[in-house]
């Protein structure tokens, strides 16, 4: 298309739209003015809204910040109180630990004292038992037995343990002591006397070993081995009073010994060496 054809086309279009010349410029200017006015109004409205939104946002932010500041100030004001309370709690804990240590020491001391009291109580109970077992005999010995002797039936009995728990002798020396007292070693010739002797020596102990807690009796087989004879020349024929396995004559055991037994109060005798073994003894003499 050449320049002439372009000019013809332009004239055709302008004639069709009637926008050629001054007829087009005025409406166009008017439209542009109105458009600018509308854009200006829109911009103003948007600006106002943005300002309101910004102001509201600032107000909200300011309110939240104010609340946080107030809370921070509250926490700061209470911080010293918390520290003070913590220090007081530490001091209280230290006092409690110190008191606990003192109480522990006191408990140990009281435990030691209590153990001592318990031992004393046991000793008193033992003494009480001995006194109870002797009271009836003591009441009946007045005018019939010497002081320190126990009356049973028609005889008076002396247990060397009651005079001294530490003095012990062999069989010959024990018999000599009885003779010096106007008596002799005990002769047990009936079940009642057997039970009496066993009951009396029940708590007369010097050792945890039972064979060291025996008492010499007036019984031996020194003349004929295996034939046990009392000092009054009566042969012992009763076998039930010997402990199981006794007498066994180990190392020349020729003298009779009485012990106490919880298991069987009737089997309370065994034999021992008359000269080497050291024990307590029992004397017997007729009552007045």
Domain ranges of the chain: 3-67, 149-286
**Where is pLDDT greater, at 163 or 31?**
163
Q: H/E element holding 283?
A: strand 280-286
pLDDT in tens, 27-47: 667 777 777 777 777 678 777
What does the H/E/C string look like for 166-212? CCCECHHHHHHHHHHCCCEECCCCCHHHHHHHHHHCCCCCCCCCHHH
Contact 138, 150 (CB under 8 A): yes
User: Is pLDDT of 3 > 80?
Assistant: no
Contact 188, 217 (CB under 8 A): yes
Contact 167, 267 (CB under 8 A): no
Looking at residue 115, its pLDDT comes to 86
Looking at residue 39, its pLDDT comes to 77
- What does the alpha-carbon distance between residue 204 and residue 160 come to, in Å, rounded to a whole number? 10
- What does the alpha-carbon distance between residue 176 and residue 174 come to, in Å, rounded to a whole number? 5
Nearest to 279 by CA among 189, 186, 166: 166
End-to-end CA distance of the chain: 181
- What does the alpha-carbon distance between residue 36 and residue 57 come to, in Å, rounded to a whole number? 31
Instruction: Choose the CATH number for 149-286 among 1.10.10.10, 3.30.70.3340, 3.40.47.10, 3.10.100.10.
Output: 3.10.100.10
- Please report the DSSP string for 82-122 in residue order: HHHHHHHHHHHHHHHHHHHHHHHHHHHHHHHHHHHHHHHHH
User: Is pLDDT of 11 > 80?
Assistant: no
Dihedral sign, CA of 136, 141, 143, 147? negative
Looking at residue 159, its pLDDT comes to 98
Structure tokens at 44: 């103003």
Nearest to 255 by CA among 277, 280, 283, 235: 277
Mean pLDDT of 172-198: 96
Looking at residue 119, its pLDDT comes to 85
pLDDT-derived band at 256 (thresholds 50, 70, 90) equals very high
CA separation, residue 199 to residues 17, 193, 266 (Å): 154, 10, 11
Nearest to 81 by CA among 89, 69, 91: 89
Identify the residue whose tokens are 């020596």: 201
């Amino acid at each position: 298309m050449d320049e002439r054809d372009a000019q013809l086309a332009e004239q055709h279009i302008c004639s069709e739209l009637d926008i050629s010349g001054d007829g087009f410029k005025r409406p166009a200017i008017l439209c542009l003015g109105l458009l600018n006015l509308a854009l200006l109004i829109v911009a103003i409205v948007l600006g106002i809204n943005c300002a309101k939104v910004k102001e509201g946002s600032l107000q909200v932010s300011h309110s939240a910040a104010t609340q946080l500041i107030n809370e921070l100030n509250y926490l700061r004001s209470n911080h010293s109180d918390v520290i003070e309370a913590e220090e007081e709690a530490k001091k209280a804990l230290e006092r409690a630990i110190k008191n606990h240590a003192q109480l522990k020491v006191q408990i140990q001391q009281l435990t030691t004292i209590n153990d001592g009291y318990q031992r004393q109580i046991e000793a008193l109970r033992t003494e009480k038992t001995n006194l109870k077992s002797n009271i009836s005999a003591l009441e009946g010995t007045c005018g019939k037995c010497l002081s320190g002797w126990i009356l049973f039936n028609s005889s008076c009995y002396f247990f060397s343990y009651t005079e001294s728990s530490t003095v012990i002798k062999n069989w010959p020396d024990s018999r000599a002591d009885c003779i010096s007292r106007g008596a002799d070693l005990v002769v047990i010739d009936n079940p009642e006397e057997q039970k009496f002797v066993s009951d009396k020596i029940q708590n007369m102990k010097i050792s945890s070993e039972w064979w060291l807690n025996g008492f010499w009796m007036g019984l031996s087989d020194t003349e004929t081995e295996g034939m046990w004879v009392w000092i009054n020349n009566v042969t012992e024929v009763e076998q039930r009073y010997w402990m199981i396995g006794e007498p066994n004559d180990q190392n020349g055991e020729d003298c009779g010994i009485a012990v106490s037994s919880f298991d069987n109060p009737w089997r309370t005798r065994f034999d021992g060496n008359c000269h080497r073994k050291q024990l307590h003894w029992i004397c017997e003499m007729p009552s007045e």
